């Protein structure tokens, strides 16, 4: 790649990152000025959308001048194009995005803007919008699915299990997560991991904890009712089990869901590698699915279950479930990040970690310190 191209995109990246929020706001303002109807495609709050948009542009400006990684970039842009169908984005909207980006880039790069710089940046943005548009136009699967809530169980004051039946077959793999929006917050999308594998009946189950400041998660736990219709979009995630190596699974809270789906799928086979799952929460009474894991383990000798809780006893407000001791399951007190590395030698294991971003980062770091290669540790993206 010519040095001018590298320099132009490098300088543009610097200018964009001087004030990312202003940059994204200005781009969307330009798009909505060109076509005001575009605003209706997005939710009231666009904070998450702004953050994701900046991450993509920053990655594009870093990846295009690089010597490698172009195939991965094209795959990412294609996935984004397919994903954006859920908003109702049409092919003609990509020209609007291109125009808005180029207008904002010209302003940001005013001191460097010349015909050669303009051409370099134009070609980069034509790649972005062209790949996204092409992937959207050639996608064969639906942009959205719908599913009806048939059961909801309030496990604790901030935790619920929601079961649905999809109106048409969904395409996802055990361990993946789906983009979901609920009727209480239309046009606001969140990622949720099904806790059971896909099946011909279209059954879905989600485990949802209301997080502080989480409007959607709180609405699901508090306001979801039988008969509600949820909208689901693309599946994401690469969590998987390689049958050639023993498996360590580390599940924090509702992070159990994708690992549970994998275990249920594995239980349909007899040729599974030895698998040890550590399931952890703050209090023992929050280990709501421990009995299910015990039942799976009772008929699958390749599976070992260990419970972990940060506290030994429950506070008064938790309606305790059967304790690990009552279920005959080994129980450790501490955080998953502290307990798991000390509980065995995991250097030859493939490791799957699911839970909060902080739990994933801390557990991953301590496992690496304990000798596990980073390349052996799988987890979903942490934002």
Amino acid 171: pLDDT: 87
User: Residue 54 domain-assigned?
Assistant: yes
Supply angle C-alpha 358, 217, 340, rounded to 5: 30
User: Residue 242 domain-assigned?
Assistant: no
CA distance 46 to 60: 21
User: Residue 63 domain-assigned?
Assistant: yes
Domain boundary among 123, 138, 153: 138
Amino acid 16: pLDDT: 97
My answer on whether 97 and 212 are in the same domain is: no
Domain assignment of residue 194, given as a range: 145-236
Supply angle C-alpha 88, 76, 207, rounded to 5: 70
Q: Does residue 314 contact residue 346 with C-beta atoms inside 8 Å?
A: no
Give the full edge-to-edge strand order of the sheet including 303-309: 330-333, 303-309, 275-281, 247-252, 350-354, 377-378
User: Among residues 301, 305, 297, which one has the least CA distance to residue 280?
Assistant: 305
User: Residue 241 domain-assigned?
Assistant: no
Total domains present in the chain: 3
CATH of the domain at 368: 3.40.50.80
Give average pLDDT by consecutive 10-residue segment, the chain, 383 residues.
Answer: 76 96 96 94 80 94 90 93 92 95 96 94 96 94 94 92 95 95 91 96 96 91 97 94 96 97 95 97 94 96 98 85 91 98 97 97 98 96 74
My answer on whether 71 and 93 are in the same domain is: yes
Amino acid 2: pLDDT: 59
My answer on whether 92 and 166 are in the same domain is: no
Strand 229-236 relative to strand 145-156, pairing: antiparallel
Give residue 45's Cα distance to chain centre.
19
My answer on whether 17 and 124 are in the same domain is: yes
My answer on whether 122 and 198 are in the same domain is: no
Which residues is 235 bridged to in the sheet?
178
User: Residue 83 domain-assigned?
Assistant: yes
Amino acid 377: pLDDT: 98
CATH of the domain at 92: 1.10.490.10
My answer on whether 266 and 318 are in the same domain is: yes
User: Residue 383 domain-assigned?
Assistant: no
Amino acid 46: pLDDT: 79
Domain boundary among 236, 267, 283: 236
My answer on whether 168 and 187 are in the same domain is: yes
My answer on whether 96 and 33 are in the same domain is: yes
Amino acid 67: pLDDT: 80
pTM: 0.87
My answer on whether 340 and 277 are in the same domain is: yes
CATH of the domain at 170: 2.40.30.10
Amino acid 44: pLDDT: 72
User: Residue 345 domain-assigned?
Assistant: yes
Domain boundary among 138, 167, 185: 138
Amino acid 156: pLDDT: 87
My answer on whether 258 and 358 are in the same domain is: yes
User: Residue 53 domain-assigned?
Assistant: yes
Sequence-distant contacts of 1-5: CB under 8 A, at least 24 apart: 1/64, 1/65, 4/116, 4/117, 4/120, 5/65, 5/120
My answer on whether 171 and 130 are in the same domain is: no
My answer on whether 42 and 169 are in the same domain is: no
């Amino acid at each position: 790649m010519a040095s001018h191209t590298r320099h132009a995109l490098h300088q543009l990246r610097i200018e964009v990152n001087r004030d990312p929020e202003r940059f994204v706001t200005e781009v969307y303002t330009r798009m909505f000025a060109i076509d005001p109807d575009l605003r209706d495609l997005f939710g009231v709050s666009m904070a998450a959308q702004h953050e994701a948009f900046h991450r993509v542009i920053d990655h594009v400006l870093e990846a295009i001048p690089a010597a490698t990684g172009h195939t991965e970039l094209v795959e990412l842009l294609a996935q984004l194009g397919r994903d954006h169908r859920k908003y109702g984005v049409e092919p003609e909207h990509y020209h609007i995005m291109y125009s808005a980006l180029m207008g904002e880039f010209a302003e940001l790069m005013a001191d460097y803007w010349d015909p050669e710089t303009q051409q370099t940046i134009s070609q980069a943005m034509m790649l972005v919008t062209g790949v996204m548009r092409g992937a959207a136009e050639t996608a064969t699967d639906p942009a959205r699915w719908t599913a009806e809530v048939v059961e909801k169980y309030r496990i604790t004051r901030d935790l619920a299990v929601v079961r649905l039946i999809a109106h048409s077959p969904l395409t996802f793999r055990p361990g993946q997560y789906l983009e979901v929006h609920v009727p209480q917050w239309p046009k606001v999308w969140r990622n949720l991991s099904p806790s059971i594998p896909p099946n011909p009946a279209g059954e879905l189950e989600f485990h949802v904890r209301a997080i502080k400041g989480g409007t959607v998660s709180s609405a699901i736990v508090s306001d979801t009712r039988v008969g509600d219709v949820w909208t689901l979009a693309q599946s994401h995630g690469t969590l998987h089990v390689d049958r050639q190596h023993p498996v360590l699974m580390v599940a924090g809270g509702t992070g159990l869901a994708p690992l549970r789906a994998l275990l249920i799928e594995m239980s349909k086979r007899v040729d599974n590698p030895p698998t040890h799952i550590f399931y952890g929460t703050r209090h023992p009474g929050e280990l709501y699915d421990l009995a299910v894991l015990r039942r799976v383990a009772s008929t699958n000798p390749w599976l070992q279950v260990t419970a972990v809780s940060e506290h030994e006893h429950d506070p008064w407000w938790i309606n305790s479930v059967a304790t690990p001791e009552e279920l005959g399951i080994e129980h450790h007190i501490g955080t998953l990040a502290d307990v798991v590395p000390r509980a065995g030698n995991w250097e030859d294991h493939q490791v799957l970690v699911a839970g909060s971003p902080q739990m994933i980062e801390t557990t991953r770091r301590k496992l690496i310190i304990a000798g596990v290669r980073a390349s052996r540790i799988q987890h979903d993206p942490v934002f």
